[in-house]
Every structure is written in structure tokens, then in C-alpha cells.
Amino acid sequence: MLQVCGPNAAFQGTIRYLFRPCPHLILTPQSSPLFFTCGSRKIGLSKMVNPACRPHVTHVIFDMDGLLLDTEKFYTEVQEIILSRYNKTFDWSLKAKMMGKKAIEAARVFVEETGISDSLTAEDFLVEREAMLQTMFPTSELMPGASQLVRHLHANGIPICVATGSHKRHFDLKTQRHRELFSLMHHVVLGDDPEVKQGKPSPDIFLAAAKRFEGGPIDPRKVLVFEDAPSGVGAARNAGMSVVMVPDPRLDSAHREAADQILSSLLEFNPADWGLPPFQDLAS
């Protein structure tokens, strides 16, 4: 059923016409005619893309922290501990500016945005948080749906890889309990890779990832990126790729506008929306 409400009948008619192939889309109006909610999510008109009109992708790039692995909570915890020493609190507006970036880039944001750069340099911040992170990373767990999706794409011959702002040493710690799953990736591009001159939102890491597939560089329009961070969504966009965002629910909706599709979990992803092989249970 398509249920559309808007400022006037002509507007409603236009939207009904545009989305007439979407039998299951139910929209309820907000005060602005440019936005609607679908379930609990706020959606801009530009994001109301008929799945039939989405590009059919051939290659998939996964972000790691906060997307495949539940590791963003470790950074949050450590940063809360450090900031409390300065009688300051770590909030999600600052988190949104840091996540997805290379360590030193995120560290500079942290000390500058919190106004503690005179007391703590970005480099010293990294040293201080390292001891805590090293004990946390080996306990990293997979995000819901990550294993199922990675295994499904791999089993169906879709080339997949990881592009993470994490550097090699942290990558090894975070993935030590998940080696078999990560071995399904065609390749992994890390934040300290020489080809990644600038971290997300620069497109460097995704362009390097697209280049390293068999037959690369792959046309960015054929690549689908999965991301959790605003900087990562920006990087995918800057690389000319489509992007599915799986944001933490605490991330402000303003940071979700650039994504092509927003999911509350990888468990919600329907590969067929993007021309990828459907899950068996959905196909039958």
C-alpha cells in the first residue's frame, strides 16, 4: 500500500505517480513537505528511491568499525574516560566528527573540539588511549547480520573487500577472533596504506579498494559501500559510489542525509534491492 500525505492534492498526486511501483511504501507527513517519516526514520524526498531504479552493483566494500565489528563503543568509552579528567563530557556530536577517520585525524578533532589541546596534544591523546584500547579490541564482536551478509555475498561470487580507517596493528587485534570471516574478503585496505593519503571523507580509501579487485579499477557506479560513519558516507559519495548507511541510533539524523539507503541493522538489507543475489529464504 502506498499512503502519501503532503501540503496539497497536486503534491500528493505527483508523489503517488512517482512512487506508483512501490506497493509497500507507507509515508506519513512531517511539517516540511520535503521530509517524511517511514517507520521511525526521517527520509528526505531525494532518498525515496524506488528500489527498481537503484543501480545494479557488482562489487561490495565494507567499512569495519561500527559496521562489521562492534568496536565504536570502545572508542566512545575510552574517550569518555579521558574527557572526564577535564570535567567535560563526550557527546554524539563530537563522536560524529571523529568516527571513521584515521587515528591522528580523529585525535586532532578530539583535542581541538573539546578545547583541551593546550593540555593534551593529539599525539599524547593517542598514546594515552592506546593501553585501554589494546585490552578491549581483542574482545571485538560482530555486528548483527554481518556474518550472514558477508557469507552470502561470498558464497554467491560477489567480490567483497574491507576499507577501514583502522591501521594494521589495530586491525589485527580487532579481527583476531574473526579471522575466518575476514579471510572471505578479496582484500583489505587499511588507514595506514600508502595509497590512502587522506582519511574519510576523502575518497582515497574507496578508490584504492575499487582498484584492487580483479579487473580493477571497478566502475564506482557498480560499487556498493556499507558504512556507519558520516565521514565514510561522504568518502563513498566522493568516490562516486552508492552507499548503504547503518548508523548508530544515537547519531543525529542530519548526518544521514547523504546515504542512498539507511538501515537500522545489516539484518534489514535486501540484496535484491541492489541487483545482488537474493537470500535463499527471500527467493523461495
Among 15, 57, 65, 108, binds ligand G3P (CB under 6 A): 65
Start-to-end Cα distance in the chain: 23
Chain positions 87 to 146 lying near ligand G3P, rule: CB under 6 A, are 99-100
Q: How far is the CB of 64 from ligand G3P (least distance, A)?
A: 4
CB atoms within 10 A of CB 20: 11
Among 15, 57, 65, 103, binds Mg ion (CB under 5 A): 65
CB 271 within 8 A of CB 279: yes
Q: How far is the CB of 72 from ligand G3P (least distance, A)?
A: 6
Q: How far is the CB of 154 from ligand G3P (least distance, A)?
A: 19
Kindly name the residue from 63, 193, 204, 228 that is annotated as catalytic.
Answer: 63
Among 64, 158, 161, 236, binds ligand G3P (CB under 6 A): 64
Q: How far is the CB of 222 from ligand G3P (least distance, A)?
A: 22
Q: How far is the CB of 40 from ligand G3P (least distance, A)?
A: 24
Told to check if 164 binds ligand G3P by CB under 6 A, we report: yes
CB atoms within 10 A of CB 86: 12
User: What does the alpha-carbon distance between residue 57 and residue 54 come to, in Å, rounded to a whole number?
Assistant: 9
Q: Residue 233, exposed/middle/buried by CB under 10 A (0-12, 13-18, 19+)?
A: buried
Among 33, 30, 26, 25, which residue's Cα sits nearest to residue 9?
Answer: 33
Does the active-site annotation cover 192?
A: no
Does the active-site annotation cover 63?
A: yes
Of Mg ion, ligand G3P, none, which one does residue 165 interact with (CB within 5 to 8 Å by kind)? ligand G3P
Told to check if 229 binds ligand G3P by CB under 6 A, we report: yes
Q: Which residues contact 242 (CB under 8 A, 6 or more apart)?
A: 54, 55, 57, 221, 223, 224, 225, 236, 260, 274
Told to check if 63 binds ligand G3P by CB under 6 A, we report: yes
194: cell is: 600508502
E-assigned strands of 121-278?
160-163, 187-189, 223-227, 242-245, 261-262
E-assigned strands of 183-230?
187-189, 223-227
Number of residues near ligand G3P (by CB under 6 A): 12
- Closer by beta carbon to ligand G3P, 66 or else 247: 66
Contacts to ligand G3P by CB under 6 A: 63-66, 75, 99-100, 164-166, 229, 232
Catalytic (active-site) positions: 63, 65
